[in-house]
Amino acid sequence: MYWNKVELCGVNTAGLKTLTDEQKKALLIRVRQGDGAARDELIEGNLRLVLSILQRFSGRRENADDLFQVGCIGLIKAVDHFNPDLDVKFSTYAVPMIVGEIRRYLRDNNAIRISRSTRDLAYRALQAREELTRERECEPSVDEIAKRLGEPREAVLNAMEAIVEPVSLYEPIYNEAGDSIYIMDQISDDTGDCGWLEDIALRDAMKCLSDRERKIIEMRFYHNKTQMEIAESIGISQAQVSRLEKGALAHMKQRM
């Protein structure tokens, strides 16, 4: 396990220092002004963040030193591209950059062979996605990426899907105040008429729910809405929808 290995790439991970949010903000401002010493200090002060992210890839038989180096590349990119004027924590911005760099490395070393032209298009699409994300400060759609590249939408979509490695439906992709959102939470329920909810016992169990919980359950399972769609509809975060949904299902199970 990576967290049991004390030394990575000649760095004693047990002695890695950490920075407070105030220190990070001060260093980021200096980095933006061209202060090289501040840049080095900021990178050093976030190596523990890279180390913590490596734990997500602990099940792989990859060399820990290699992954640590790749993660550091992602950290450096985050330091060089982060805008301190944004109302976003540096770690919030840096984590997906580090994870993305590691996943690109793993895709390059994937045993599954993908044609050179498909791989090249996929990497161009990833680069365009990063550029558009920096420009607009939000995730671009496939249509927007295809338009930037001047390529057909289907070709771009197929290329990007070809280099995506399989992940567990229960892999957490976001966490807010202890409430995790998993990949399965992003998938709508396509079970047709949701016959199990039409069962009288389940309808009776729904009577124990609050109005908000009942609305979430109905939208989720009657109308096949994703948690993101529900969050936008009722004006709360997706993490809150996830927590309320899990609580409502637990109450219904207990009632039954």
Torsions phi, psi for 130 (to 5 deg):
-65, -40
Predicted confidence band of residue 194 (pLDDT cuts 50, 70, 90): very low
Question: At 187, is the secondary structure helix, strand, or coil?
Answer: coil
CATH classification number, 112-166, choose in 1.10.10.10, 1.20.120.160, 1.10.357.10, 3.50.50.60: 1.10.10.10
At residue 89's C-alpha, the angle toward residues 85 and 93, to 5°, is 95
Flag whether pLDDT at 3 surpasses 60: no
Predicted confidence band of residue 1 (pLDDT cuts 50, 70, 90): very low
CA-wise closest residue to 91 among 53, 130, 138: 53
Flag whether pLDDT at 83 surpasses 80: yes
**For range 210-230, the mean pLDDT:** 84
**For range 207-222, the mean pLDDT:** 84
| Residue 92, pLDDT score | 85
- Per the document, the length of the chain is 256
Flag whether pLDDT at 182 surpasses 70: no
Higher local confidence (pLDDT), 219 or 63: 219
| Residue 61, pLDDT score | 65
Higher local confidence (pLDDT), 170 or 30: 30
> Which residues of the chain form CATH 1.10.10.10?
112-166, 172-255
Flag whether pLDDT at 148 surpasses 80: yes
**For range 45-65, the mean pLDDT:** 79
> Could you give the percent of the chain with pLDDT greater than 70?
72
| Residue 53, pLDDT score | 86
| Residue 37, pLDDT score | 92
CATH classification number, 1-109, choose in 1.20.1300.10, 3.20.20.60, 3.90.1150.10, 1.20.120.1810: 1.20.120.1810
| Residue 150, pLDDT score | 93
Owner of token pair 């161009």: 124
Distance CA 228, CA 2 (A): 34
Helix, strand and coil percent figures for the chain, each rounded to 5: 65, 5, 30
DSSP annotation of 87 reads: S
Higher local confidence (pLDDT), 151 or 256: 151
Helix 36-44 vs helix 21-32: crossing angle, to nearest 10: 150
The segment with the largest mean pLDDT, out of 33-37, 116-120, 136-140, 248-252, is 33-37
Using one digit for the tens of pLDDT, what is the confidence trace for 90-146? 888 888 889 888 888 877 666 556 677 887 888 888 888 888 888 877 778 888 999
The CATH code of the domain at 172-255 is 1.10.10.10
| AA letter at 169 | L
Token duo for residue 217: 């359950």
Predicted confidence band of residue 2 (pLDDT cuts 50, 70, 90): very low
Region of 70 please: left (phi>0), alpha (psi -120 to 50) or beta: alpha
> Which residues of the chain form CATH 1.20.120.1810?
1-109
> Could you give the percent of the chain with pLDDT greater than 90?
7
Q: H helices within 45-168, ranges in order?
A: 47-54, 64-81, 90-108, 116-136, 142-149, 153-162
Average pLDDT, the chain: 77
For residue 125, the tally of other CB atoms under 10 A from its CB is 22
* No. of helices (H) and no. of strands (E), the chain: 13, 4
Question: At 180, is the secondary structure helix, strand, or coil?
Answer: strand
**For range 174-193, the mean pLDDT:** 52
Helix 153-162 vs helix 142-149: crossing angle, to nearest 10: 110
Owner of token pair 């993490």: 239
Distance CA 125, CA 169 (A): 24
| Residue 196, pLDDT score | 39
Flag whether pLDDT at 247 surpasses 70: yes
